[in-house]
Amino acid sequence: MNDGVLSVENINKSFGGVHALKDVSMQIRGGEVHCLSGENGSGKSTLIKIISGYYKPDSGKICVDGNEYREMTPAESINHGIQVIYQDFSLFPNLSVMENLSINAEAARGSKIISYKRMRETALRAVEKINLKIDMKAKVADLSVADRQMTAIARALVHDAKVIIMDEATASLTRNEVNCLFKVIHQLKEEGVAIVFVSHKLDEVFEISDSITIFRNGMNVVSCKASEINEERFSYYMTGREIQSTQEKPLVGDSSRIMLETKNLTVEGAFEDVSIQLYKGEIFGIAGQLGSGRTELAMTLFGMADIKSGEILMEGNPIKISSVQKAKQLKIGYVPEDRLTEGLFLEQALVENVAVTHLADLSSKAGFYHKKEAEEETTQWIDTLSISPRNRNNLAQKLSGGNQQKVVLAKWLACNPSILILNGPTVGVDIGAKQDIYDLLNQYASQGMSIIIASDDILEIKKLCNRVAVMKGGKINAFLCGEEVTEQALIEASI
Amino acid sequence: MAEKSGVYLKKIMNDPIFRIFILMSAVVIFGALLMPGKFLTAGNMTSIAKQLSEYGILALAVFICMVSGGIDLSVVYIANLCGIIIGTMLSKTIGSSDFAGSAAWMIVFSSAAVMAVGCVCGALNGILIGKLKVPAMLATLGSGQLILGISTVITNGQAITGVPAVFTKLSGIKFWILPLNFQVFIFCAVIMYMIMSRTSFGLRTLLIGSNSKAAFFSGINNNRDLVKIYTISGLLASVSGIISTMRMSSAKPDYGTSYIMFSILICVFGGTSPNGGKGNVPGIVLAAIVLQMVATLMNMFQNLSTFYRDIVWGALLLIMLIINYILDNRHVTKR
């Protein structure tokens, strides 16, 4: 019965009245990559936290190495070789790579005196296991996201991990970096390590996994070999509905009306000589990997950088976007890359989260805030964007990633912008909500809004954009238009 | 039905104001039983009201900064500087008989001048914190020290005395059993309540405290609002300085330095999150009243050594803070 390294049987877990996991069973074998998928809030994270000993299950059991547990402590979990790499990697940003790799092992020795020599050896051993080339003295804060990811994996290996659980490991990686990660995963697999790969990026899931388990509403809806399922069924299992894209071809826009234009725009240390044109009613793509300058370009258009040279024109008139306030006045909206730290007020209600961008419109001249008006408006946006649960007084932190992103969208749509810039609009958003957001963007663009999407998600760019500027190393490497926008071309231009 | 009332009860219990209210009732009943005819008297209530007003207003000043995610450690020194200035102005002018006829005008004028000084001090803090991005704790610690130094130079380190009686008598004005000082406190609290709950500025303050980065990305001018926030804090501190000089008929640079700690405790006690983004004015008012009541009650036990009083005092505060913490985090299973 327990041929797996790790299995859970009939796990139940409730938080208050919410039944987060219902009778969940799952088996993970050594040397396999097991993909755990499901929309946000489907219970993936809860299960991971039960396996890592963070939560105690209400009922059910966990079997590791033939031992049965009703519940596990984090220490037991680690001792059985279970390592979890969380989305934020849980590294110490102010310490060096070497210290990060070895500090847990060093602390576990219980010795009161730290030996840097021993730490260095521990760290080197871990790095060798995945052939990672990295500066041991570099501070983690200064590393790229990909290097941080690799550091986190190397750290997991210090403890002779038998099971490595990667929670949304690829969420902030570029395609290139994902390939490197996959190489490492293959190598670990050959060594007999079981990998639980949590992701809802379809292409990656099919590329890497041997088995797939999909959660929906706290239940295991399917567990099978990756070869027994196709993308369509996968989406269906995840959402419980058939996803149909309503628009096949990206919008073309009105090339006779140029809403925004940059001429030889240069921002020191970010990008140089960027000239783009944004038509009315189109979705313009800025593709490019992390560090290519796409984020900086998007932020510059929202008034967050000092322009060194070049100019920005709006409908033919030169303008200066000197501050976020100025950008807002010019009817430019910006959906930031990281909705948790830059987009949302997590402990505030949806009403305040939506109202924040246009408080002046919701207040009298004397500055008195019309709460009723704001509430009614929020209710409308909840309906328009089908945000669930449909309660405007919910705190933003209680929503799933997709719904949170819709709230960030709502706060800008409520300003009625003529230009909306989105930076990574669907990072960490589940398939269902992703499609909703795409449909929305298409709908607003066809009504005349001009939209810029900065993203490293090639499929997303291909799906939405008729014209794309591909950035690389701070410069525009290629312009693609219409039929030229293919996955191949996008990848080639960005690496 | 029973379940519904249970949910309702839970909701009330989670309201910090309600918790403080319960505690206040308990203190009143306790005091009335232990000290019959002494605690629950109009005279005692008046003195409680008089004593709490100064640091009650300081707590309001700290409160708005705390809601915005910062703190203002300089309020006491601003208040002292303002108290010194108004004391000096009045003793130099009204004191000489020439101006006696226009004493009322002189009081109004010097109050306004001192409030302007408070605003300037606050704005300075705001600029340090908003524009120059100095952490609020360090900025106000530094500016507080600077202001203390200025006060000391002005007064040569001595207490200002000889504040005209015309001015100090004002604190005797009573509405029912409530002295003028307390009326000023309540007036400030009402204004602050209006600002925090009815204006877009109040909401922006809350949002900046909740997530300043998201506020910035939403087009809020954080810097400008922070200057406003700390200016209000400085203004409130100056008001506190004025009524303090009025009550004590003197002022000195390092008067009431323990008030800063007390103000912070009132804020946290009243349900203001030290991390920002959460807080309400009624909570501050009730917390100030409860704390002064407990202090007064303890003072009534003559044979209780001051040292023991400190223990009781500190323990009570910590217990309340722990209860607040537990109740606030009850719904979070494990974190």
Please say if the pLDDT value at position A102 is more than 90. Answer: no
Calculate mean pLDDT across residues A69-83. Answer: 84
Q: What pLDDT sits at residue B111?
A: 94
Q: CA A130, CA A186: separation in Å to the nearest integer?
A: 10
**Which has the higher per-residue pLDDT, A281 or B301?**
A281
Q: CA B327, CA B325: separation in Å to the nearest integer?
A: 6
Please report the beta strands in A39-127, taking only residues with DSSP state E, as ranges in sequence order. Answer: 59-64, 67-69, 82-85
Helix B75-93 and helix B259-269, axial crossing angle in degrees, nearest 10: 130
Q: CA A487, CA A232: separation in Å to the nearest integer?
A: 20
pTM: 0.76
The reply to whether B244 falls in a domain is yes
Q: What pLDDT sits at residue B118?
A: 96
Closest CA to B277 of B13, B21, B44, B68: B68
- Whether chain A has a CB inside 8 Å of the CB on B277: the answer is yes
> CB of A351 within 8 A of CB of A374?
yes
> CB of A175 within 8 A of CB of A456?
yes
**Which has the higher per-residue pLDDT, B196 or B38?**
B196
Please say if the pLDDT value at position B17 is more than 90. Answer: no
Please say if the pLDDT value at position B1 is more than 70. Answer: no
The reply to whether B127 falls in a domain is yes
Q: Give the model's confidence band at B314: pLDDT under 50 very low, under 70 low, under 90 confident, else very high.
A: confident
Range of the domain at B233: 16-300
Q: Do B206 and A348 touch (CB under 8 A)?
A: yes
Q: Do A367 and B210 touch (CB under 8 A)?
A: no
Give the torsion through C-alpha atoms of A365, A371, A374, A375, to 10 deg. Answer: -170
> CB of B236 within 8 A of CB of B115?
no
Please report the beta strands in A226-302, taking only residues with DSSP state E, as ranges in sequence order. Answer: 254-267, 271-274, 277-280, 283-287
Q: Give the model's confidence band at B7: pLDDT under 50 very low, under 70 low, under 90 confident, else very high.
A: low
Q: What pLDDT sits at residue B330?
A: 56
Q: Using CB atoms and an 8 Å cut-off, which of residues 48-107 of chain A contact chain B?
A: 54-55
The reply to whether B8 falls in a domain is no
C-alpha count within 13 angstroms, C-beta hemisphere, residue A280: 11
Give the torsion through C-alpha atoms of B127, B130, B134, B136, to 10 deg. Answer: 100
Q: CA A263, CA A316: separation in Å to the nearest integer?
A: 11
The reply to whether B321 falls in a domain is no
The reply to whether B266 falls in a domain is yes
Q: Tell me the CA distances in angstroms from A151 to A121, A154, A165, one per residue in order.
A: 15, 5, 15
Give the torsion through C-alpha atoms of A194, A199, A204, A205, to 10 deg. Answer: 60
Whether the complex's predicted ipTM surpasses the cut of 0.90 = no
Task: Find the angle CA(A145)-CA(A147)-CA(A148) to the nearest 5 degrees.
Answer: 65
Render pLDDT for A261-292 as a digit per residue (tens, 0 to 9): 999 999 988 898 999 999 999 999 999 877 78
Distance from CA of B122 to the nearest CA of A (A): 22
Q: Give the model's confidence band at B333: pLDDT under 50 very low, under 70 low, under 90 confident, else very high.
A: very low
The reply to whether B3 falls in a domain is no
> CB contacts < 8 Å between A and B, how many?
73
> CB of A198 within 8 A of CB of A166?
yes
Render pLDDT for B147-159 as a digit per residue (tens, 0 to 9): 999 999 999 888 8
> CB of A13 within 8 A of CB of A219?
no
Among chain B residues, CA nearest to A53: B334
Q: CA A120, CA A304: separation in Å to the nearest integer?
A: 41
What DSSP element (H or E) covers A223? Answer: strand A219-225
- Beta-carbon contacts of residue A18 (< 8 Å; ≥ 6 apart): none
> CB of A292 within 8 A of CB of A494?
yes
- Whether chain A has a CB inside 8 Å of the CB on B196: the answer is no
Q: Tell me the CA distances in angstroms from A135 to A100, A124, A131, one per residue in order.
A: 12, 11, 13
Which range in A160-174, A376-390, B91-105, B297-311 is most confidently predicted, on average pLDDT? Answer: A376-390
Neighbouring CB atoms inside 10 A of A255's CB total 12
For chain B, the domain total comes to 1
Computed from CA positions of residues B8, B11, B15, B20, in that sequence, does the dihedral angle turn out positive or negative? positive
> CB of A310 within 8 A of CB of A262?
yes
- Using only C-alpha atoms, chain A has a radius of gyration, in whole angstroms, of 24
> CB of A82 within 8 A of CB of A64?
yes
The reply to whether B38 falls in a domain is yes
List CB contacts (< 8 A) between B202 and chain A. 369
* DSSP state letters, A263-279: EEEEETTTEEEE--EEE
The reply to whether B311 falls in a domain is no
- Beta-carbon contacts of residue B211 (< 8 Å; ≥ 6 apart): A341, A344, A345, A346, B277
Q: CA B293, CA B30: separation in Å to the nearest integer?
A: 11
Query: Which long-range contacts link A87-94 to residues 24+ away (Cβ below 8 Å)?
Result: A87/A167, A87/A168, A87/A169, A87/A171, A89/A148, A89/A149, A89/A151, A89/A152, A90/A152, A91/A140, A91/A148, A91/A151, A91/A152, A91/A155, A92/A140, A93/A139, A93/A140, A93/A141, A94/A139, A94/A140, A94/A141
What domains, with CATH codes, occur in chain A? 6-239 (3.40.50.300), 254-494 (3.40.50.300)
Question: What is the share, in percent, of chain A residues with pLDDT greater than 90?
Answer: 24
- Whether chain B has a CB inside 8 Å of the CB on A397: the answer is no
- Beta-carbon contacts of residue A169 (< 8 Å; ≥ 6 apart): A85, A87, A149, A181, A197, A198, A199
Q: CA A402, CA A332: separation in Å to the nearest integer?
A: 23
Distance from CA of A404 to the nearest CA of B (A): 13
Render pLDDT for A205-245 as a digit per residue (tens, 0 to 9): 888 889 999 888 788 888 888 888 887 788 788 777 665 55
Please say if the pLDDT value at position A41 is more than 80. Answer: no
Q: Do B199 and A369 touch (CB under 8 A)?
A: yes
Q: Do A15 and B333 touch (CB under 8 A)?
A: yes
Please say if the pLDDT value at position A246 is more than 70. Answer: no
Helix A97-108 and helix A145-158, axial crossing angle in degrees, nearest 10: 20
Extract the tokens encoding A310.
Answer: 């070049």
- Beta-carbon contacts of residue A120 (< 8 Å; ≥ 6 apart): A98, A102, A136
**Which has the higher per-residue pLDDT, A17 or B218?**
B218
Render pLDDT for B233-246 as a digit per residue (tens, 0 to 9): 999 999 999 999 99
CATH code, domain carrying B61 = 1.10.3470
